[in-house]
Amino acid sequence: MDKYKQAFLEEAGETLCELEAALLELDQNREDREVVGRAFRALHTIKGSGAMFGFDDIAAFTHNLESAFDHLRTGQLAVSADLISLALAAGDQIKTMLDEAAGVGAADHSRAMGILAELRDLTGEEVRYHPVPGPVVPETAPSGPQGVWRIHFRPASDVLLNGTNPLLLLRELGQLGRIQITVDVGGIPPLSELDAERCYLGWDIVLTTPSGLEAIRDVFIFIEDNCELSIEPVFEPAAPSATQAVQPKENPPPAPVAGASNIRVSAEKLDQLINLVGELVTVQARMSELAARRDDPEIQAVAEEIERLAAGLRDNSISVRMLPLKNTFERFRRLVHDLSIELHKDVELRIEGADTELDKTVIDQLNDPLVHLIRNSMDHGIETPDARRAAGKPPTAKIRLAAIHSGANVLIRISDDGRGLDAEAVRTRAIERGLIDAAARLSEAEVFSLIFTPGFSTARTITGVSGRGVGMDVVRRNVEALHGSIEISSQPGVGLTVSLRLPLTLAIIDGLLIRVGQAHFVLPLANSLECVELTSADVREAHGNHIAKVRGEIIPYIRLSEYFQMDNAPPEREQIMVVETDQGRYGFVVDEVLGDHQTVIKNLGKLYRNVQAVSGATILGNGTVALILDPHRLVQHALSTVSKGKPLAARGGRHSKSNGNTQSKGTTSYGTQRK
Amino acid sequence: MAKVILTVDDSASVRQMVHFTLCDAGYTVVQAVDGQDALTKLTGSIDLIITDLNMPNMDGIGLIRSVRSNPAYKGLPIVMLTTESQAERKQEGKAAGATGWMVKPFTTQQILAVVKKVLG
């Protein structure tokens, strides 16, 4: 039975989340019977399977709630805020009981009693908290003094339509002892009236068995109110006792297992699988390269087949790790519910795009930053209902949590309609704290990004929920550890939006292999837009600025050989890779673009943690290492090197995401400075 | 030919337990997560349905009624899973045409005993 317990614990955890979601939804709309039904079913499942897998205390505790919700379902009881809060608390209690069962912590059983006492006061129903009777010990056939029974059995004529096979019952009865059966055919009608789907027979049976009356009755248990049945002792033994299992066990032939729709696999095994697939992809790349060199069509055909299979295997195993954000997002309903009570603020959480899928590892590490951002919004961003009314806003504030796909990334936005962030206040504060120079001229986006500097906080008061100015820097660190980026936009008085950009997966990406001098690099394909030649005319026309004209659009570029300080003579023809970054479109000038490359990401290790422009490394087919470029951070870093080179105040350009022109100005200064 | 049993329950852990128990005993098991799912999987030769009563989308009672209204499965044995607090539901299930029932919590031996009883 133990092997099922783990499955039960996991499932109960999920069911609890569903329960919580239903309760919070019910809080919004108290009349919704459908939601009551969902909560009831969740409780019912926890109770039912709890008892089945031996968690009697959980089953007993949940039983009381289940009956309360049964009354809600039938309308005997009305939904109230108290009841919902109590049910939420009870859900938490079940959670601790489950944790205890899983060997984590200990549940406080007096708390369970407290919750049940409150429940009793609320519903006026008696509660009980002693384990419900566990599974009945399976019957064993007693061997002892033999009794003789006379049994008359005539099922109702429609018994076959209920799926009952009377023959099986007679056979089962025969297993209890020696049996003599006489069939009564008196009820069979003339052929013209006979209905083949009906049963017209009756049986008179004489049974010699050591089993008692109960065991004989049990044979007919499913149809006892749908048949004529009399069981009379002809001779009853004095003491039918002495239990001993002697029932012969029939072994049906083994059958193939079919139709398992879902299986649970430990995350560790999945990681192993991904690692192996990664190795396979690396080896396959090598194989393809060798095959290309051999010029043997047979080997090439095999190599291509392997390439196709490896790509399929890769996509499949990655999709196995993908989970919808739903569970993570739904959990925040509870957080918002609890916080709005604690802070006396009225907040409605809207969730969009919860079906968006992300790598499980990314999702796991996303929870903390999101909790922090939502707490921040609730605490600092959103005003009290009175203040909101005074500002002419609806008293109920809104927090929107939205996720959408964007290439190989997922964008998550947390927006609130609170008081927003005042760029001037942030600036003043940053100057106070000595984070920037008083004369510095910064764009709004740059000002807001100061919030992520350690030790920065604009909150006037420190509350129990958040404050003290720790956190936003940790949030940024967490997001960046996931190879993601974070950005704030805000309008004072209107609201604030935090956008997180996260990669779909951390394991394997499609990349473009490029060469600069002797070194190979991989550029994520999702960021790469196009590849054009950098002509000498372009260089001439730009008058020494690092700007190229691509299809009429002005693209500032970064020469990678300069950026990585490699001294090699540029080839006659250089290539520009146009990439999309958070800062807009940029070009990377490289010596050669070699083609696409399935890239298994390997971490660089602790030593290189602070390397800006590189997100990892990969091993090429011939065994050499290629660094994976992070275009966002490369551009960011290149720009900041420019800023450091000159005093901030002297910077002419502001770069913002939306404006292509000012962007190139900002980068122009980079180019000229380098020259 | 191994007998085919369709087990219907929205609780994966119960499904899993029923599944393993019956597979170990040599039956072929098809799983469904609710009544609707079960109806889509009710094709070809199914020898027995074991269904929970409380499920989303289509509950056990609805499933039993639908199955019984299909001439091809009129006499198919159906065992419902109930809890001791559901006396009325049990009656409802019987009226809808359930062959038998099992009271939760049940043990693996009990599953096998009931299956054997209705399936032989």
pLDDT of A294-303, one tens digit each? 888 888 899 9
Are A496 and A524 in a shared domain?
no
Find out whether the peptide bond into B105 is cis, omega within 30 degrees of 0.
yes
Question: With 90 as the cut, is the pLDDT of residue B78 above it?
Answer: yes
What is the token pair recorded at A63? 């039983």
Give the residue among A417, A379, A371 at the shortest CA–CA distance from A396: A417
**What is the residue-wise DSSP string for A617-663?**
EEE-TTS-EEEEE-HHHHHHHHHHHHHHHS-GGG------SS-HHHH
Is A257–B28 a contact, with Cβ atoms under 8 angstroms apart? yes
CA-CA-CA-CA torsion sign (B81, B86, B89, B95)? positive
Q: pLDDT at residue A470 above 60? A: no
User: Is the pLDDT reported for residue A139 higher than 70?
Assistant: no
Where does the pLDDT of residue B32 fall: very low under 50, low under 70, confident under 90, or very high at 90 and above? very high
For residue A303, what is the enclosing H or E element?
helix A297-321
* CA dihedral angle for residue B103, residue B104, residue B110, residue B113, rounded to 10 degrees: 40
* Residues A330 and A435 placed together within one structural domain of the fold: yes
Report the SS3 class of residue A176.
Answer: coil
Give me the count of residues in chain A: 675
Pick from B98, B105, B117: CB nearest A172: B117
Domain CATH code at residue B78 = 3.40.50.2300
CATH of residue A470's domain is 3.30.565.10
List the single residue in B30, B105, B118 with the smallest CB-CB distance to A259.
Answer: B30
CA–CA distance, B7 with B51 (Å, rounded to integer): 6
Q: Judge whether A506 and A359 are in contact, CB under 8 Å.
A: yes
Give residue A157's domain range: 147-235
Residue type for position A339: L
Which pLDDT score, from 0 to 100, does residue A668 have? 35
Burial pattern A643-669, b for ≥16 Cβ within 10 A else e, equals beeeeeeebebbbeeeeeebbbebbbb
In a domain, A62, yes or no: yes
The number of beta carbons lying within 10 Å of the beta carbon of residue A425 is 12
- pLDDT surpassing 90 at residue A555: no
Q: Tokens 């490289």: give the residue.
A: A590
**How far is A306 from A302, CA to CA, in rounded Å?**
6
* CA neighbor of A259 nearest in space, from B20, B119, B31: B31
- R_g of chain A, CA atoms, integer Å: 36
pLDDT of residue A143: 54
Indicate whether A319 and A465 sit together in one domain.
no
Asked if residues A561 and A496 have their Cβ atoms less than 8 Å apart, the reply is: no
A262 falls within a domain: no
* Beta strands A397-406 and A485-491, pairing class: unpaired
State the CATH number of the domain containing residue A62.
Answer: 1.20.120.160
Residue of A nearest to B83 (CA): A48
Q: What would the mean pLDDT of A186-195 be, rounded to a whole number?
A: 84
Q: Do A92 and A201 fall within a single domain?
A: no
Residue A241: inside a domain, yes or no? no
Distance between CA atoms of residues B116 and B120, nearest Å: 5
- Please enumerate in sequence order all residues whose Cβ is within 8 A of that of A643, keeping only pairs 6 or more positions apart, or say none: A651
Residue A586 identity:
Y
> CA-CA distance, B79 to B99, in Å (whole number)?
6
Res A272: pLDDT? 84
- Model confidence at A565, pLDDT cuts 50, 70, 90, reads confident
Dist CA A387 CA A395 (whole Å): 8
pLDDT band at A261 (very low <50, low <70, confident <90, very high): low
SS3 B18: helix
Q: Which chain B residue has its CA at the smallest distance from A43's CA?
A: B54
Give me the residues paired with residue A155 across strands: A227
Concatenated DSSP letters for A230-275?
EEEEEE--S--------PPPP-PPP------------HHHHHHHHH
Give the span between the Cα atoms of A496 and A492, in whole angstroms.
8
**Residues A482 and A520 both lie in one domain:** no
**Number of separate domains in chain A:** 5
Q: Is the pLDDT of residue A672 over 70?
A: no
Of the candidates A503, A524, A547, which is a domain's last residue? Answer: A503
Secondary structure class of A664 (helix, strand, coil)? helix
Confirm whether A260 is domain-assigned.
no
Strongest mean pLDDT among A74-78, A571-575, B93-97: B93-97
Query: How many domains, in total, are found in chain B?
Result: 1
If asked whether residues A315 and A334 sit together in one domain, one would say no
Residue range A264-278: average pLDDT? 81
Distance CA A20, CA A16 (A): 6
CATH of the domain at A295: 1.10.287
A575 and A526 in a common domain? yes
Q: Are residues A398 and A484 in the same domain?
A: yes
Take residue A624 and report the two structure tokens written for it.
């050499």
Query: How many helices (H) does chain B have, and how many strands (E)?
Result: 5, 5
Chain center to CA of A466: 26
Question: In chain A, what residues touch B89 (CB-CB under 8 Å)?
Answer: none
Decide which of A238 and A587 is more confident: A587
- Out of A456, A481, A503, pick the residue that ends a domain: A503
Residue A238 confidence (pLDDT): 53
The three state secondary structure string of A3-45 is HHHHHHHHHHHHHHHHHHHHHHHHHHCCCCHHHHHHHHHHHHH
Instruction: Label the pairing between strands A409-416 and A397-406.
Output: antiparallel
Q: Report how far residue A538's alpha carbon sits from residue A549's, in angstroms, rounded to the nearest whole number.
A: 7
Residue A58 in domain:
yes
Percent of chain A with pLDDT strictly greater than 70: 84
* Mutate: best of B11, B54, B85, partner A, most A CBs <10 A: B11
pLDDT bucket at B85, cuts 50 / 70 / 90: low
Which tens digit of pLDDT belongs to each residue from A591-614? 989 888 777 777 777 787 778 788
pLDDT for residue A198: 85
CB contact (8 A) between residue A221 and residue B100: yes
Helix axes of A33-52 and A2-28: crossing angle, nearest 10 degrees: 160
- Co-location of A513 and A496 in the same domain: no
Higher pLDDT, A663 or B8: B8
pLDDT of residue A412: 92
Among B23, B26, B104, the residue with its CB nearest the CB of A48 is B104
Q: What average pLDDT does this structure show over A194-207?
A: 86
Q: Is the Cβ of B65 closer than 8 Å to some Cβ of chain A?
A: no
- Chain A residues within an 8 Å CB radius of B29: 257-259
Q: Are A534 and A619 members of one domain?
A: yes
Chain B hits for A171, CB-CB cut-off 8 Å, are: 120
Higher pLDDT, A240 or A594: A594
**Least confident window among A250-259, A637-646, A662-671:** A662-671
DSSP assignment of A564-633 equals: TT---PPPSSEEEEEEEETTEEEEEEESEEEEEEEEE-B---GGGTT-SSEEEEEE-TTS-EEEEE-HHH
- Collapsed DSSP state (helix, strand, coil) of residue B114: helix
Q: Which range is least confidently modeled, A306-315, A613-622, B41-50? A: A613-622
A169 has pLDDT over 50:
yes
Stretch 33-52 of chain B: residues touching chain A, C-beta under 8 Å: 33, 41
Helix H or strand E encompassing B91: helix B87-96
Checking if the pLDDT of A228 tops 60, the result is yes
- How far is it, in rounded angstroms, from Cα A656 to Cα A644? 19
A372-to-A42, A334, A359, A365 alpha-carbon distances in Å: 29, 14, 21, 12
Distance (Å) of CA B119 to CA A75, A162, A251, A392, B5: 40, 13, 14, 71, 10
Rounded alpha-carbon distances, angstroms, from residue A113 to A54, A60, A117, A127, A375: 20, 11, 6, 10, 32
What 3-state class would DSSP assign to A478?
helix
Pairwise CA distance, residues B9 & B28, whole Å:
17
Can you list the alpha helix ranges (DSSP code H) found in A136-263? Answer: 166-174, 213-219
Domain region containing B58? 4-119
Alpha-carbon gap, residue B48 to B55, rounded angstroms = 19
A552, with CB counted inside 10 A (0-12, 13-18, 19+), is exposed
pLDDT reading at A255 higher than 80: no
The two beta strands, A519-524 and A625-629, are parallel
Q: List all residues 6 or more positions away from A505 whose beta carbon is below 8 Å from its beta carbon.
A: A318, A321, A322, A358, A359, A362
Last residue of a domain, one of A484, A503, A522: A503
Q: Nearest-CA distance from A158 to chain B in Å?
A: 10
**Is residue B50 over pLDDT 90?**
yes
Give the type of residue at B98: A
| Largest Cα span, chain A | 117
Residues A518 and A496 in one domain: no
Query: Closest partner residue to B97 among A162, A252, A258, by Cβ?
Result: A162
The shortest C-alpha distance from A459 to chain B (Å) reads 47
Residue B9 pLDDT exceeds 60: yes
Q: Does A196 touch chain B (CB under 8 A)?
A: no
A493-549 tens-digit pLDDT: 888 899 998 877 766 777 889 999 888 999 888 778 888 888 777 777 777 778 888
In angstroms, the CA A212 to CA A51 distance is 29
CB A576 within 8 A of CB A548: yes
In a domain, A206, yes or no: yes
The question of ipTM being above 0.95 is answered as no
Taking the Cβ of residue A297 and every Cβ of chain B, the question of whether any pair is shorter than 8 Å is answered with no
Distance from CA of A45 to the nearest CA of B (A): 6
Q: Calculate mean pLDDT across residues A310-315.
A: 86
Instruction: Give the per-residue pLDDT at A465.
Output: 45
Is pLDDT larger for residue A498 or for residue B89?
A498
Contact at CB, B110 and A49, closer than 8 angstroms: no
Shared-domain flag, residues A539 and A550:
yes
Look at residue A526 and give its three-state secondary structure.
helix
- Chain A residues closer than 8 Å to B101 by CB: 222
For A189-198, A342-351, A605-614, which range has the lowest pLDDT when averaged over its residues? A605-614
CB pairs under 8 A between A and B: 142
